[in-house]
Structure 1
Amino acid sequence: MSESLIRTRPTVAVFGATGHTGRFVVAELLRRGFRAIAIARSAEALAAARFPEPDVLCRCATVEDEGSLLRALNGAQAVINCAGPFLDTADALAAAAVKSGMHYVDISAEQASVSRTLETFDEPARQAGLVLIPGMGFYGGFADLLVTAALGDWTSADAIDVMIGLDSWHPTRGTRVTGERNKAPRMVVAEGRLRPLALPSAQKHWDFGEALGRQLVSEMPFSEIVLISRHVKTSELHTHLSAVALSEVRDKGTPAPQAADATGRSTQRFVVEVVARREGASRRAVARGQDIYAFSAPLVCEVVKRILRQEFNRAGANAPGMVLNAEAVLAALQPDHLALEIAAA
C-alpha cells in the first residue's frame, strides 16, 4: 500500500502497545484497516515488538511527561490505553487526549480508576464533543454491554447478577502489578446504593452450561459495577467469578498465558452470564469465547470504530451502554470472537 493511502486511513494510538494486551490491540487495528501509533516508555521494547511499518508508527512517551504524550498522540483520532495500573496512567492520558481533541478508551478493571475518569472528564469531554469510555475491556465494559442488551426495554431491575466463568486464569505481568497496586475497597450495589463488598466474599455454585459446567464462584466485582450503576437503576448488582480462576491468579507460581494458535490466543475459555430480574420476570444474556486478554482487543476496537463513525448518542465520559447500541456492538463480534444468546427466561 502506498504511503499516501496509509496516511488517509483513520489513525488510533495505543498506549502500552508493547504489553500483552496492547499487542493484540495493535494487531486488531491493523486487521480492521486502521493505522496505529504504538506508544511505549521504551524504544527498546518498541523495537523488540517489531511492529510493521509504515502501518504502525512507533513513539516513546511517559505519563510523567505531558509533552511527550502530546507529541506521541499527534495525528491520531482516538487513543486506547492498555497500560495498567490505570490508577497511574488514566488521568494523564485522558487529559492529554482531551487536550489533543481525540476520543479516549481504556481497558481498566479498576473501579477507582474508572470512577475517577467518569467524574473528572465528563464535563471537559462534553464541551469538546469527545467520547471517553473507561473500563472497556473483558472486565468492565463487556458486562455493561451484556446487561444493557439483556435489559432491552427495561429501564430498571430489582437485581442484576454478573456471573463470570473461566476454566483457568494465567495472569500477565500487568495483571499482577495492577493487583498489587489496586488496594481500594471493591464496591457493589446493595439496597440501591454503592457499598463496599462484604468480606469474606459470598460463595455459591453456578452452572455455566456445557462449556464450563457447574463451578464454585466467589463474589468479585470489577469496573462493570461502576459502569452499570452509572446508567441502570437496580437495588442489587453483584459480580461472581470462578473460584478456580481466583485461586490461580492469586498463586504467584501460576505462569503467564501461552499462545496456543497463530493469533497468539491461549486456550483459556470464558462464559459470562448476566441475569436481570424484575417483578418476578427475568432476562439474561450469555456470552462464550476464548482468552480474556485477546478478546479485549476486538471488543475495544469495535467500540473505537463506532465512536469514530459518530455512532454515539452523547459526548462526555460514559459507560458504553449509555452511548452505544449494545446489541449491535456485541453482534459485530459474532461469530469470530463471541457466541451470544439473549433471551427472556
Structure 2
Amino acid sequence: MTMHQAAIIRTPQAAVAVFGANGHTGRFVVTELMRRGLKPIAIGRTAGRLAEAGFPERGVECREAAIEDDAALDRALAEAAAVINCAGPFIETADAVVRAALRAGIHYLDITAEQPSVQATFDRHGAAAGKAGVAVIPAMGFYGGLADLLVAALMDEWQDADTVEIRVALDSWLPTKGTRVTGEKNRTQRLAVSGGELRPVQQPPAEKAAVLPAPFGRQTFVELPFSEVPLIARHVRIRELHTFLSTTALRDVRDPSTPPPQAIDETGRSAQRFAVEVIITQGDLRRRLLAQGQDIYAVTAPIICEGVQRILSGDIRDTGAKPPAAIFDAGSFLQALGSNLLVETSET
C-alpha cells in the first residue's frame, strides 16, 4: 500500500450515500451495502419516495436533496465517505453530484450507461479529483464497468490489442422506468473505436451472429456500444473496439409495451439471464472470455459496492477520475464477485 492509498482508508462501518436510492437499482445497492456491513444513507428528492421504498423500517437513514439544490446536496453528503449515484439520466445528474462529492472531499461512483456522461465526468472533473486524492469512477455497473474489468482481466500482460469485440446477450430486457427515460433523452451519436480513434458507429450498424451457451443458443447481434467504450479507450491501446447487443434485448427495450422487471425471489431479482462475451486479438493470438449471471440491474449492486468497499479499505491502484480497471485489479475484483458472476476464459 502506498502512502497515497493509506490516506484515504475508511473504517468498514463508513457511511455511503446513495443518491437515487428509491429507484429500482438504488434499492439493490442499499441492500448490498447493508449486507457488506456498510451504513447506507438513502438520498431522494422527497421523503415520501424514500418511505415508499421501506428504508425507515429497515433503519436506513433518509435525507432529501434535489439535483438543483447544491446546499441540500452538501447536507445530504455530510459524514459520508463516498457517494453512489443511481439517478439517471446521468447526463443530467452526474455533474452536480460529482461537484458535491468534491466539495465534501469524498469518493464518487455511478452506474451510467451513457457515453456522453462518462466523457463529461472525465473531462470536467479529472483535475479536481486528482488534486483532492479521491476516486471518481463513472459507469461502475453492468453497462460500462463490468466490460472494462473483463477486458482488463483478459488482456492481462498485454499492453495493447488489435481488436476487442464485446457481445452482450440478454434473454429478455424488461426495462425500468429510468432506463426508458434515459433512452428517450440520450439521442447522441454512439461511439466505437475504429482505426485507434473514437468514431461514430457506422450506419446502418453492423450485425453478426454467434452461438452462446444455454439459454441463449444462436444469437443475432447489432452494434450498439454503451459506456464501456470511453472507459476502455481511456486506458487500453486498441485499434478496433466494438460492442454488440443481442437483437432480442434490443427488440424488448424498444417495445413500449414491454413491462418492467418482475421479482421472482426474496432478493428482488428478475428471471433475466445475461451473457457478456469478450474476444481480444493480438496478431495471430486470440483470447476469449464469457461471463454469465442473472438480472443486469441486480448484479450492478455487488459490482459497484465491491468497488466502494475496496476504495474505503485502500485496496486500489490510484485515485482521480479514472475507469474502474485503472483503479482496481481486474482479476481479483471479478473473482470477488463470486456467485454473482460466472467467468470462463480460453486462449488460442
Q: TM-score range by the shorter chain?
A: over 0.9
Partner of 2:346: 343
Code of the residue aligned with 1:35 in structure 2: it is K
Q: 2:261 aligns with which of 228, 247, 257?
A: 257
Partner of 2:338: 334
Q: Partners in 1 of 2:157 and 2:346 — Cα distance?
A: 13
Partner of 2:94: 90
Partner of 1:225: 229
Q: 2:317 aligns with which of 313, 320, 323?
A: 313
Partner of 1:3: none
Residue 210 of structure 1 deviates from its aligned partner by 2.9
Alignment deviations for residues 41-96 of structure 1 (CA, whole Å, 9 cap, x no partner): 01110111111567421000011000000000111100000000000000000000
1:169 matched to 2:192: no
Code of the residue aligned with 2:161 in structure 1: it is A
Partner of 1:75: 79
Unaligned runs of 5+ residues in structure 1 are 1-6
SS at match of 1:288: strand
- Give yes or no for contact 1:30–1:55 (8 Å, CA) kept in 2: no
Partner of 2:304: 300
* TM-score normalized with structure 2 length: 0.95
Q: Partners in 2 of 1:8 and 1:257 — Cα distance?
A: 32
1:128 matched to 2:132: yes
Range moving further from structure 2, 268-277 or 200-209? 200-209
- Give yes or no for contact 1:149–1:342 (8 Å, CA) kept in 2: no
Residue 10 of structure 1 deviates from its aligned partner by 1.0
Query: How many equivalent residue pairs?
Result: 338
Residue 8 of structure 1 deviates from its aligned partner by 8.0
1:25 matched to 2:25: no
- Give yes or no for contact 1:188–1:237 (8 Å, CA) kept in 2: yes
Q: Partners in 1 of 2:326 and 2:54 — Cα distance?
A: 37
Partner of 1:188: 192
Code of the residue aligned with 1:239 in structure 2: it is T
Partner of 2:65: 61
Q: 2:295 aligns with which of 291, 296, 303?
A: 291
Q: Partners in 1 of 2:12 and 2:318 — Cα distance?
A: 27
Q: Partners in 2 of 1:17 and 1:333 — Cα distance?
A: 22
Alignment deviations for residues 8-67 of structure 1 (CA, whole Å, 9 cap, x no partner): 821100000000000000000001111010000011101111115674210000110000
Q: Partners in 2 of 1:123 and 1:8 — Cα distance?
A: 28
Q: Partners in 1 of 2:63 and 2:30 — Cα distance?
A: 13
Moved over 6 A (4+): none
Partner of 2:328: 324
CA RMSD of aligned residues (A): 1.2
